[in-house]
């Protein structure tokens, strides 16, 4: 038992130093997790010497891929553009838009008259000009209804919801970070704290090995091991097992997977308030990849409405101002309508938010996702550079362990 007595004596002689071994291991486990989490999100922009000597957060660096994965899940699996558009009542929308459209149409008619038929328009009596304005204002609801009817027939031709989501998230990397942080904030706390406890446990193993062999390489080796194993174990516990598993009366399931219903609420709130808003939808409609199709649709309806309103007087108008100016007039009307849409849409924003009910729709459908589908919401944030993050944890642990050796010897 001499060796055992010698071991006890050694432990007592260096009590403070030796007790610091598991505590330092716990600190290494905690710090490496904290570092791994920060490396996922920070810095938002690349810092260092491009292209390889430096770092950019995993999520902002892979912004397009991350945003694409989130959009793929959201659009199609949780909600479709057809479903979004179908919730809007054309009649109610036109009622909400009636006043701003009436005011804008009066200005537009006066502008058209003064610009393209100044002599005739100025010679008209005031009551006659007002009569023209009122007549055309009566036709606006029908024009709006016909326009909306065409959009409803094939909404995906005019609106690319996935492009809206991806472009906004890529443009605003801080928002993209916020989305991933929001849906996984509790998991990140667990991930960080698990590093401490895993490190503490491994630290006691490290202490035992040191007491038995007193090899200098053991401390940095265990430091690296603590960073490596604790990172890997914590990640596994976030997502595995996917389905609940019973063992000795206890139920085990991945921490993130078990919070599906709670995550659904946080995620839906963020998407509804930050991304799929009526204002963003209107902006995308006017400047997105399918904006030209909308302009063509407006041209078609404006041309038809203009010809119908002129009726038998159309040949006379064409003769008076010429076909080129007539086409220019139509173009002006279309342009003014396009300029009007963003401002007019503010009048239906409250109704649209209530009617679309995107928040509740996403929550309801997210609760129906399979564990594999639900895992895909957060897993990409870890999976993209998981090996790099774990390796960085191991390197940091090794360095801290080496510093500890220098203090002990």
Beta bridge partners of 245: 252
**Average pLDDT over the chain, rounded to an integer:** 76
Provide the percentage of residues in the chain whose pLDDT is more than 70. 84
Closest CA to 144 of 78, 93, 189, 107: 93
Q: Residue 298: is its pLDDT beyond 80?
A: no
205 with 181: CB under 8 angstroms?
A: no
What's the pLDDT at 26? Answer: 82
| Of 208 and 125, the one with more pLDDT | 208
| Of 117 and 167, the one with more pLDDT | 167
Q: Residue 197: is its pLDDT beyond 70?
A: yes
Mean pLDDT of 62-89: 78
Q: Residue 48: is its pLDDT beyond 70?
A: yes
Closest CA to 169 of 99, 39, 311, 71: 71
Which tokens hold the place of 248? 């000795």
Res. 387 pLDDT band, cuts 50 70 90: confident
Q: Residue 259: is its pLDDT beyond 80?
A: yes
Q: Residue 152: is its pLDDT beyond 70?
A: yes
Q: Kindly provide the b/e burial profile for residues 47-71, where b requires at least 16 CB atoms within 10 angstroms of the residue's own CB.
A: eeeeeeeeebbbbbbbbeebbbbbb
Task: Compute the radius of gyration of the chain from its Cα atoms.
Answer: 33
In terms of DSSP H, where are the helices of 243-322? 255-258, 260-274, 278-287, 291-310, 314-321
Cis (ω within 30 of 0) for the bond into 392?
A: no
What's the pLDDT at 306? Answer: 66
Mean pLDDT of 170-194: 81
Interatomic CA distance for residues 248 and 385, integer angstroms: 35
Q: Residue 376: is its pLDDT beyond 60?
A: yes
Interatomic CA distance for residues 317 and 117, integer angstroms: 9
Closest CA to 309 of 122, 143, 164, 182: 143
Interatomic CA distance for residues 196 and 67, integer angstroms: 32
Interatomic CA distance for residues 32 and 400, integer angstroms: 11
Q: Residue 307: is its pLDDT beyond 80?
A: no
Interatomic CA distance for residues 300 and 87, integer angstroms: 25
Quickly tell me which residue has 């999100």 as its tokens: 41
Phi–psi pair at 250, nearest 5 degrees: -105, 150
What's the pLDDT at 184? Answer: 77
Interatomic CA distance for residues 380 and 197, integer angstroms: 25
Quickly tell me which residue has 């710090």 as its tokens: 31
pLDDT digits (tens, 9 = 90+) for 318-333: 656 667 776 777 777 7
Q: What's the CA angle centered on 219, arms 214 and 223, to 5 degrees?
A: 160
Phi–psi pair at 117, nearest 5 degrees: -135, 60
222 with 25: CB under 8 angstroms?
A: yes
Query: Cβ neighbours of residue 152 under 8 Å, at least 6 residues apart?
Result: 85, 86, 90
Q: Residue 218: is its pLDDT beyond 60?
A: yes
| Of 122 and 371, the one with more pLDDT | 371
Res. 129 pLDDT band, cuts 50 70 90: low
Interatomic CA distance for residues 228 and 393, integer angstroms: 6
Mean pLDDT of 206-235: 76
SS3 state of residue 409: coil
Interatomic CA distance for residues 283 and 235, integer angstroms: 39
- pTM of structure: 0.67
Strands 245-247 vs 250-252: parallel, antiparallel or unpaired? antiparallel
Mean pLDDT of 18-38: 79
Q: What's the CA angle centered on 338, arms 336 and 339, to 5 degrees?
A: 65
């Amino acid at each position: 038992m001499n060796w055992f007595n010698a071991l006890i004596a050694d432990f007592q002689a260096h009590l403070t130093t030796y007790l610091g071994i598991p505590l330092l291991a716990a600190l290494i486990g905690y710090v490496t997790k904290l570092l791994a989490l920060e490396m996922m999100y920070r810095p938002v922009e690349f810092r260092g010497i491009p292209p390889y000597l430096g770092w950019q957060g995993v999520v902002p660096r892979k912004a397009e891929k991350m945003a694409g994965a989130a959009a793929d899940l959201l659009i199609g699996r949780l909600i479709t553009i057809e479903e979004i558009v179908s919730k809007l009542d054309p009649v109610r929308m036109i009622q909400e838009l009636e006043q701003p459209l009436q005011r804008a149409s009066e200005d537009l008619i006066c502008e058209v008259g003064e610009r393209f038929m100044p002599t005739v328009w100025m010679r008209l009596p005031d009551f006659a000009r007002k009569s023209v304005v009122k007549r055309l204002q009566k036709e606006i609801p029908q024009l709006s209804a016909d326009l909306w009817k065409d959009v409803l027939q094939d909404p995906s031709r005019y609106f690319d919801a996935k492009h809206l989501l991806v472009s906004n998230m890529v443009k605003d990397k801080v928002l993209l970070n916020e989305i991933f942080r929001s849906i996984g904030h509790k998991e990140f706390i667990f991930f960080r704290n698990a590093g401490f406890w895993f490190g503490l446990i491994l630290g006691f193993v490290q202490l035992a090995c040191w007491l038995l062999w007193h090899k200098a390489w053991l401390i940095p080796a265990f430091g690296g091991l603590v960073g490596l194993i604790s990172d890997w174990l914590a990640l596994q516990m976030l997502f595995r097992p996917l389905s609940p598993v019973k063992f000795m009366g206890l139920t085990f399931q991945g921490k993130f997977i078990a919070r599906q219903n709670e995550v659904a609420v946080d995620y839906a709130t963020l998407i509804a308030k930050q991304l799929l808003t009526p204002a963003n939808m209107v902006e995308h409609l006017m400047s997105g990849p399918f904006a030209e199709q909308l302009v063509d649709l407006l041209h078609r309806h404006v041309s038809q409405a203009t010809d119908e309103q002129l009726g038998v007087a159309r040949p006379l108008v064409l003769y008076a101002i010429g076909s080129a100016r007539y086409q220019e007039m139509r173009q002006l009307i279309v342009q003014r309508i396009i300029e009007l849409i963003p401002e007019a849409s503010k009048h239906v924003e409250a109704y649209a938010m209530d009617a679309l009910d995107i928040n509740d729709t996403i929550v309801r459908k997210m609760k129906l996702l399979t564990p594999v589908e639900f895992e895909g919401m957060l897993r990409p944030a870890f999976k993209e550079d998981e090996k790099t993050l774990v390796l960085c944890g191991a390197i940091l642990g090794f360095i801290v362990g080496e510093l500890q050796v220098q203090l002990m010897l």
